[in-house]
Structure 1
Amino acid sequence: MNNLNTMPDLMNDKLVDMVFITEFTGLTDKWFYKLMSEGKFPKPIKMGRSSRWLESEVKSWLMARITESRS
Protein backbone atom coordinates (compact mmCIF):
# COMPACT_ATOMS: atom_id res chain seq x y z
CA MET A 1 0.00 0.00 0.00
CA ASN A 2 1.29 3.47 -0.89
CA ASN A 3 1.41 6.21 1.69
CA LEU A 4 -0.68 9.00 0.16
CA ASN A 5 1.30 11.60 2.12
CA THR A 6 4.42 10.78 0.11
CA MET A 7 2.69 10.68 -3.28
CA PRO A 8 3.20 13.66 -5.58
CA ASP A 9 0.24 15.95 -6.10
CA LEU A 10 -0.42 15.00 -9.72
CA MET A 11 -3.23 17.52 -10.09
CA ASN A 12 -0.73 20.33 -9.52
CA ASP A 13 2.25 18.84 -11.33
CA LYS A 14 3.12 18.22 -14.98
CA LEU A 15 4.88 15.41 -16.78
CA VAL A 16 7.78 16.82 -18.78
CA ASP A 17 10.02 15.32 -21.45
CA MET A 18 13.76 15.49 -22.00
CA VAL A 19 13.31 18.44 -24.39
CA PHE A 20 11.80 20.45 -21.52
CA ILE A 21 14.62 19.40 -19.16
CA THR A 22 17.41 20.31 -21.58
CA GLU A 23 15.81 23.65 -22.49
CA PHE A 24 15.11 24.42 -18.82
CA THR A 25 18.69 23.68 -17.69
CA GLY A 26 20.79 24.31 -20.78
CA LEU A 27 22.45 20.90 -20.33
CA THR A 28 22.44 18.03 -22.83
CA ASP A 29 20.33 14.90 -22.74
CA LYS A 30 23.53 12.80 -22.67
CA TRP A 31 24.51 14.54 -19.43
CA PHE A 32 21.18 13.69 -17.82
CA TYR A 33 21.29 10.05 -18.95
CA LYS A 34 24.78 9.81 -17.41
CA LEU A 35 23.47 11.30 -14.16
CA MET A 36 20.55 8.84 -14.16
CA SER A 37 22.93 5.90 -14.62
CA GLU A 38 24.86 7.18 -11.58
CA GLY A 39 21.67 7.62 -9.52
CA LYS A 40 22.13 11.42 -9.43
CA PHE A 41 18.99 12.41 -11.33
CA PRO A 42 15.40 11.13 -10.98
CA LYS A 43 14.60 8.09 -13.09
CA PRO A 44 11.93 8.59 -15.74
CA ILE A 45 8.35 7.42 -15.65
CA LYS A 46 8.09 5.05 -18.60
CA MET A 47 4.95 5.20 -20.74
CA GLY A 48 5.42 2.71 -23.52
CA ARG A 49 8.44 3.98 -25.43
CA SER A 50 8.19 7.47 -23.95
CA SER A 51 9.93 8.77 -20.85
CA ARG A 52 8.55 11.57 -18.71
CA TRP A 53 9.57 13.18 -15.43
CA LEU A 54 7.55 15.05 -12.84
CA GLU A 55 8.31 18.73 -13.27
CA SER A 56 8.45 19.14 -9.50
CA GLU A 57 11.21 16.49 -9.24
CA VAL A 58 13.26 18.20 -11.96
CA LYS A 59 12.92 21.57 -10.25
CA SER A 60 13.71 20.07 -6.82
CA TRP A 61 16.82 18.44 -8.28
CA LEU A 62 17.93 21.78 -9.74
CA MET A 63 17.26 23.68 -6.49
CA ALA A 64 19.35 21.11 -4.61
CA ARG A 65 22.24 21.68 -7.07
CA ILE A 66 21.93 25.47 -6.57
CA THR A 67 21.88 25.09 -2.78
CA GLU A 68 24.85 22.70 -2.89
CA SER A 69 26.88 25.09 -5.04
CA ARG A 70 26.22 27.97 -2.63
CA SER A 71 27.41 26.11 0.50
Structure 2
Amino acid sequence: MLTTTSHDSVWLRADDPLIDMNYITSFTGMTDKWFYKLISEGHFPKPIKLGRSSRWYKSEVEQWMQQRIEESRGAAA
Protein backbone atom coordinates (compact mmCIF):
# COMPACT_ATOMS: atom_id res chain seq x y z
CA MET A 1 0.00 0.00 0.00
CA LEU A 2 1.35 3.40 -0.96
CA THR A 3 0.29 6.60 0.73
CA THR A 4 1.46 10.14 0.29
CA THR A 5 1.64 13.21 2.45
CA SER A 6 -0.61 16.15 1.69
CA HIS A 7 2.25 17.51 -0.42
CA ASP A 8 2.57 14.30 -2.48
CA SER A 9 6.35 14.57 -2.15
CA VAL A 10 7.09 11.73 0.27
CA TRP A 11 5.92 8.18 -0.34
CA LEU A 12 5.32 5.94 2.66
CA ARG A 13 5.39 2.23 1.93
CA ALA A 14 3.59 0.13 4.50
CA ASP A 15 5.09 -3.03 3.00
CA ASP A 16 8.67 -1.64 2.82
CA PRO A 17 10.02 -0.57 6.21
CA LEU A 18 12.57 2.15 6.75
CA ILE A 19 15.84 0.88 8.22
CA ASP A 20 18.71 2.70 9.91
CA MET A 21 22.48 2.49 9.56
CA ASN A 22 22.73 0.12 12.54
CA TYR A 23 20.53 -2.37 10.68
CA ILE A 24 22.59 -1.97 7.49
CA THR A 25 25.94 -2.47 9.23
CA SER A 26 24.62 -5.48 11.15
CA PHE A 27 23.19 -6.97 7.95
CA THR A 28 26.37 -6.50 5.89
CA GLY A 29 29.19 -6.56 8.43
CA MET A 30 30.59 -3.34 6.93
CA THR A 31 31.13 -0.06 8.81
CA ASP A 32 28.98 3.04 8.68
CA LYS A 33 32.04 5.04 7.58
CA TRP A 34 32.35 2.79 4.50
CA PHE A 35 28.67 3.26 3.61
CA TYR A 36 28.81 7.05 4.00
CA LYS A 37 31.83 7.07 1.68
CA LEU A 38 29.82 5.07 -0.87
CA ILE A 39 26.92 7.51 -0.51
CA SER A 40 29.21 10.50 -1.11
CA GLU A 41 30.57 8.77 -4.23
CA GLY A 42 27.06 7.96 -5.51
CA HIS A 43 27.48 4.18 -5.11
CA PHE A 44 24.86 3.60 -2.39
CA PRO A 45 21.27 4.87 -2.13
CA LYS A 46 20.96 8.33 -0.60
CA PRO A 47 19.27 8.37 2.80
CA ILE A 48 15.85 9.70 3.64
CA LYS A 49 16.49 12.40 6.22
CA LEU A 50 14.05 12.48 9.15
CA GLY A 51 15.22 15.32 11.33
CA ARG A 52 18.80 14.42 12.19
CA SER A 53 18.22 10.73 11.47
CA SER A 54 18.92 8.89 8.24
CA ARG A 55 16.79 5.99 7.01
CA TRP A 56 16.65 3.85 3.89
CA TYR A 57 13.93 1.73 2.36
CA LYS A 58 14.82 -1.88 3.10
CA SER A 59 14.05 -2.87 -0.49
CA GLU A 60 16.55 -0.33 -1.87
CA VAL A 61 19.33 -1.68 0.34
CA GLU A 62 18.43 -5.27 -0.56
CA GLN A 63 18.44 -4.35 -4.27
CA TRP A 64 21.86 -2.69 -3.89
CA MET A 65 23.14 -5.83 -2.11
CA GLN A 66 21.77 -8.10 -4.86
CA GLN A 67 23.52 -6.00 -7.51
CA ARG A 68 26.84 -6.28 -5.62
CA ILE A 69 26.41 -10.06 -5.39
CA GLU A 70 25.69 -10.34 -9.12
CA GLU A 71 28.65 -8.11 -10.00
CA SER A 72 31.02 -10.09 -7.79
CA ARG A 73 29.93 -13.33 -9.46
CA GLY A 74 30.07 -11.93 -12.97
CA ALA A 75 26.31 -12.14 -13.49
CA ALA A 76 25.72 -8.42 -14.10
CA ALA A 77 25.00 -7.38 -17.66
TM-score category (smaller protein): 0.7 to 0.9
Q: Compare CA radii of gyration and give the structure with the larger one.
A: 2
2:28 alignment partner, one of 11, 25, 47: 25
Quote the residue 1:70 is aligned against: 73
Distance 2:12 2:37 in 1: 28
Structure number with the higher helix fraction is 1
**3-state SS of the aligned residue for 1:12?**
coil
Task: Give 1:43's aligned residue.
Answer: 46
- Counting aligned pairs with the same residue, the percent is 64
Pairwise CA RMSD of aligned residues? 1.3
Runs of 4+ in structure 1 off by over 4 angstroms are none
Asked which structure has the greater RCO (Cα within 8 Å, sep 6+), the reply is 1
Alignment coverage as a number of residue pairs: 64
Measure, in 1, the Cα distance between the counterparts of 2:57 and 2:45.
9
Residues 68 and 56 of structure 1, relative CA distance in 2, 3 Å threshold:
same
TM-score between both structures, scaled by the size of structure 1: 0.86
Name the TM-score, length of structure 2 as normaliser. Answer: 0.80
